[in-house]
Structure 1
Amino acid sequence: MGGQPASFTQSGQYPRFIVVMGVAGTGKSEIGRRLAGLLGCNFIEADELHSRENVERMRNGYPLTDELRMPWLNSVCDRASVIDASPVVVACSVLKRSYRELLRQRLPGVRFLFLHGSPELISARLGARTGHFATGSLLESQLATLEAPDGDEEAIWLEITLSPNLIAERAAVELLGSVHST
């Protein structure tokens, strides 16, 4: 898939909201930025919208509760919904179906890209990462919390063993195909 097909830059053909989801260490931010670059659209890093308290909690190895996540998820929706240009790519974990349902209610037509891989690979990535509050100590709780998207959610599953460029390109192709098949 070398090069950038012209259809990637025709953003109007993509869903209005695209959420790159998965547990910490799957590459949501990297893939989200690359996908937004391919599509020539806005990117939102949901981690930047966490409260200071949430960040400190996670930095200290404590997972967030549903009660702590809801204001954050609403902030993500607020930020995405005020952007006029389409599409908007968001990197956000949305580990539970109920979280994705909230996004579906607040961001009509949202599509989810689910980044997945082996716990060993994700753990190795988290161990090598620096400067982020979500460390390897959160992986076990994130995997326990994860409710992988069911078929009725029509999420696009992307394996993280591929290169970030290839994952972003495949995401763009899959998203375009999903829009044209509906």
Structure 2
Amino acid sequence: MGVSGSGKSTIGAALAQRLRVPFADADDFHPAANIAKMSAGHPLNDADRGPWLDAVGEWLAAHPDGAVMSCSALRRDYRDRLRHHASRVEFIHLAGSREVIAARMAGRPGHFMPASLLDSQFATLEPLAADEAGVTIDIDQSVDDVVQQYVDQLTEEQHS
């Protein structure tokens, strides 16, 4: 989870490969109307997000033996909606400064999410609460280091 440009798709794909589980990108679950709205520079509202979050949650529920999904899941109630479908979901909040993320967004031409919506993403973001299963990892490091940091923590939890 994280704002647009935080590396969710890149990290998610690398993590899924490392864990040898299926990977999906929540961007691929957006209906055409959502993509058109974001492409035009307009943020989604909760009515836009509802069916999309349900589709993402259903995909997660269909993979009870493990999977990785890259999904913004910026607010607690969005994450709760995903947990409604897949109660064992754990979140990795890919956190970084606005400057680091804006620079990354500038380097990915052709993506439907314009950099002009980054401020609205940060305004919407609710970091993981203490009672939510998950971790926060700083993205200002290599993809391999982010994945390793999560795998190390997962291994530590399994042995405690």
Q: State the TM-score, normalizing by the size of structure 2.
A: 0.95
Deviation digits for residues 50-85 of structure 1, max 9, x if unmatched? 00000011111110001110100001112222236x
2:62 to 82, 85, 97: 82
Over the aligned positions, Cα root-mean-square deviation in angstroms equals 1.2
C-alpha deviation, 1:155, in angstroms: 2.1
Q: Which residue of 2 aligns with 1:67?
A: 47
After the TM superposition, list the runs of 4 or more consecutive aligned residues in structure 1 that deviate by more than 6 angstroms: none
Aligned to 1:91: 70
> How far apart are the structure 2 equivalents of 1:87 and 1:106?
14
Per-residue Cα deviation, 1:24-55 (whole angstroms, up to 9, x for no partner):
00000000000000001100111000000000
CA distance in 2, matches of 1:127, 1:91: 20
TM-score by length of 1: 0.84
Matches within 5 A, 1:1-182: 21-83=1-63, 86-181=65-160
**Equivalent residue letter for 2:146:** I
Partner-residue secondary structure (3-state), 2:131: helix
- Conserved? CA contact 2:22–2:67, under 8 Å: yes
CA distance in 2, matches of 1:65, 1:171: 31
**1:72-102 deviation line (CA, Å, top 9, x unaligned):** 0001112222236x21101000000001111
Distance in 1, matches of 2:75 and 2:119, equals: 15
Match of 1:125, as an amino acid?
A: R
- Displacement, 1:106? 1.1
Distance 1:177 1:70 in 2: 35
Q: What is the distance in 2 between the residues matched to 1:179 and 1:93?
A: 26
Question: What is the aligned partner in structure 2 of residue 3 from structure 1?
Answer: none
